[in-house]
Structure 1
Amino acid sequence: MVDPAIIVGVDGSRSSLDAVRWATREATVRGDPLILLSCSTYRGTKDGPRLVEELHARAERAISEALEAARAASTDAGIDIRAEVSHQYAPGSLVDRSAGAIMVVLGRRGLGEFTGGLIGSVSSAVAQHAQCPVALIDGWSRVADGRGPVVVGVDGSPNSQRALGLAFEESSLHHAQLIALHAWSDQDLSTLPVGVEQTLEQSVLETSVGGWCERFPDVSVRQKLVRDRPVRHLLEMADDAQMIVVGSRGRGGFPGMTLGSTSAALMHITPCPLLIARPCTSK
């Protein structure tokens, strides 16, 4: 059985090299293997040997560049860095590998994708269907020193608990303060007496965070409560954060829903690394 690893999607783009550098730091602090994965098939095409040869050569070049970036970024000579070229279409390959992974790390935009700052197609597909946490990296160089707090969105849902667990783990690993934000605006509690609504929501935040504080006593936690939708406040804190952590869907989600509105919006515009806490089948 292959040990769980951090998987990085590599395509030669600047964004994917940022993902490699971020993932190398994660692998180093966790002591986990790092797998650089490049794909040589474009949307399942089987058009002629010349195209197949060129796609494979491009994948090999991307892997070579990624290996160089990972080794340069590593502060531990003993880190286990592996490289693979898959002949499967990229989204399918990364989603398949996510079943046993610690996390999948991707650049927000891939090579040749002119998305006006929005997320690339491969990153979007993997973020929606992966079976482990997914990290989307953009602007890694801005926070490469690892400073700043970890910020997590809290709403009291089971998916929010997954995000909290991951956020506490990241804060502990990186010796960072954790800011737990609970923003609510999706429930009509206007008929309740004045002050009761905020008291209820404060209880949601404190209850959500409480158990994790006991499990991670080394983590300094600041709680923040606002009556508003969460995206604007998470983005405001992202300017100084080393990462934002959210669940794949919130308390308004439903079974079968791939991403909630908050995580879907943040995927496109977060100026720092975004970690989406999807269900994890690894350790």
Structure 2
Amino acid sequence: MCAVAEGDNRVVLAGVDGSPSAGHAAVWAAAVAARRGAVLKLVQAYTVPGPGVSGMAVAAVREGFRAVAETGLADAEGTVLARWPSLPVERSAVEGSVVGVLLRESAGAEVVALGSRGLGGFTGLLLGSTAAALAGRAPCPVVVVRGRKPDDAPPTTGPVLVGLDGSPDSNDALGYACEEATARSTGLVAVRTWNEITSGSSPRKADCRPEDMAVGERRLVDEQLAPWREKFPDLPVEVVVAHGRPARTLLELGAGAQLVVVGTRGRGGFTGMLLGSTSHALLVHSPCPVAVVRPGSRP
């Protein structure tokens, strides 16, 4: 394990569990850490069964679970160091729930990455619930590393895609997307969708023609992009204004992207919800990594 330079507090966190998907997440996080000059911290959570285990058996069971976690961490570290031999890496095996452990460990991190499938091969609601719980509460951006198909490595080419709706959530997502696109030497695609229910361009939506609605939505995108174009003058930016649902549009465009960035909730988000339906759908179905950025969570 590489030593971490004293005083270096830039950390990129990756949750691992020994699965191929988590291995892809560790490699993805390592690339981010290398670009940022940060430390990569690999964390594996494990839970020791309680009922039915007592006496001296408890210590043996706990040690066995910890040993498995340490092996998974060592394997992930070996994969990372084979590609980035000088990257500083920390390992941490922690007893507790995955969400609870990663929430604690993410304090002070710049981003946390996790895979889309665990050792059990669970997909859909289980993974979506875990990722949603983490993304809705973590103090830093959360990335679920996905590929075109289950267990595929994530794509490394294509633009960075960001979903915009004018809300504070999407503005923080936009800032993160600009930074990532610049660091990856690629372009940014800013996407805004509209329909007769969610459009924010006109107070009299029913009286507007579709072409007028689209023009109004494009104007709102340009207004939101303006300060970021000044901050990133060399970043190529493409604007897509589409009629329909945000999740469907972002999933379709995500097929050609290397990263999709969204906020936690958009316009009309319900109080008490930790994650909006668009973000949740992307976490479960996106063909590329998805970053969920809470307001104020960017380093």
TM-score of the pair, normalised by structure 1: 0.90
Which residue, 205, 224, 229 being the options, matches 1:213? Answer: 229
Cα contact 1:131–1:279 (8 A) shared by 2 = no
In structure 2, what is the equivalent of residue 202 of structure 1?
218
Distance, in Å, in 1 between the alignment partners of 2:143 and 2:172 is 14
Alpha-carbon distance, 1:34 to partner = 0.8
In structure 2, what is the equivalent of residue 10 of structure 1?
16
SS in 2 for 1:100: coil
In structure 1, what is the equivalent of residue 176 of structure 2?
166
Which residue, 184, 188, 191 being the options, matches 1:181? Answer: 191
Distance, in Å, in 2 between the alignment partners of 1:170 and 1:199 is 28
Which residue, 31, 37, 48 being the options, matches 1:31? Answer: 37
Q: Deviations over 1:49-99 (max 9, x none)?
A: 23212211111111011101111232xx43221111112322111112223
CA gap 1:56/1:33 in 2 versus in 1, 3 angstroms: same
Alpha-carbon distance, 1:44 to partner = 7.6
CA gap 1:50/1:228 in 2 versus in 1, 3 angstroms: same
Matched, 1:22 2:22: no
Q: Over aligned residues, Cα RMSD in angstroms? A: 2.4
CA gap 1:183/1:194 in 2 versus in 1, 3 angstroms: closer
Which residue, 122, 126, 135 being the options, matches 2:143? Answer: 135
Cα contact 2:164–2:192 (8 A) shared by 1 = yes
Matched, 1:58 2:65: no
Distance, in Å, in 2 between the alignment partners of 1:119 and 1:31 is 30
Amino acid at match of 2:226: G
Cα contact 1:109–1:118 (8 A) shared by 2 = no
197-206 or 122-131: bigger deviation? 122-131
Highest Rg: 1 or 2?
A: 2
Alpha-carbon distance, 1:169 to partner = 0.3
Matched, 1:238 2:254: yes
SS in 2 for 1:105: strand
Pairwise mapping of residues 96-115 of structure 1 onto structure 2 (< 5 A)?
A: 96-115=104-123
CA gap 1:139/1:190 in 2 versus in 1, 3 angstroms: same
Which residue, 138, 163, 170 being the options, matches 1:153? Answer: 163
187-196 or 55-64: bigger deviation? 187-196
Cα contact 1:36–1:63 (8 A) shared by 2 = yes
CA gap 1:230/1:44 in 2 versus in 1, 3 angstroms: farther
Cα contact 2:163–2:192 (8 A) shared by 1 = yes
253-262 or 120-129: bigger deviation? 120-129
Which residue, 228, 239, 242 being the options, matches 1:226? Answer: 242
Matched, 1:271 2:281: no
CA gap 1:120/1:57 in 2 versus in 1, 3 angstroms: farther
Identity %: 38
Alpha-carbon distance, 1:192 to partner = 3.4
In structure 1, what is the equivalent of residue 47 of structure 2?
41
Cα contact 1:8–1:37 (8 A) shared by 2 = yes
CA gap 1:193/1:116 in 2 versus in 1, 3 angstroms: closer
Pairwise mapping of residues 82-121 of structure 1 onto structure 2 (< 5 A)?
A: 82-115=90-123, 119=127
Amino acid at match of 2:182: S
Distance, in Å, in 2 between the alignment partners of 1:169 and 1:128 is 21
Cα contact 1:9–1:94 (8 A) shared by 2 = yes
Amino acid at match of 2:76: A
Alpha-carbon distance, 1:117 to partner = 8.9
Distance, in Å, in 2 between the alignment partners of 1:86 and 1:2 is 22
CA gap 1:260/1:71 in 2 versus in 1, 3 angstroms: same
In structure 2, what is the equivalent of residue 256 of structure 1?
272
Alpha-carbon distance, 1:269 to partner = 0.4
TM-score of the pair, normalised by structure 2: 0.86
Amino acid at match of 1:57: A
Distance, in Å, in 1 between the alignment partners of 2:102 and 2:234 is 34
Distance, in Å, in 2 between the alignment partners of 1:193 and 1:238 is 28
SS in 1 for 2:260: strand
When the two structures are aligned, how many residues end up with a matched partner?
A: 280
Unaligned 5+ runs, structure 1: none
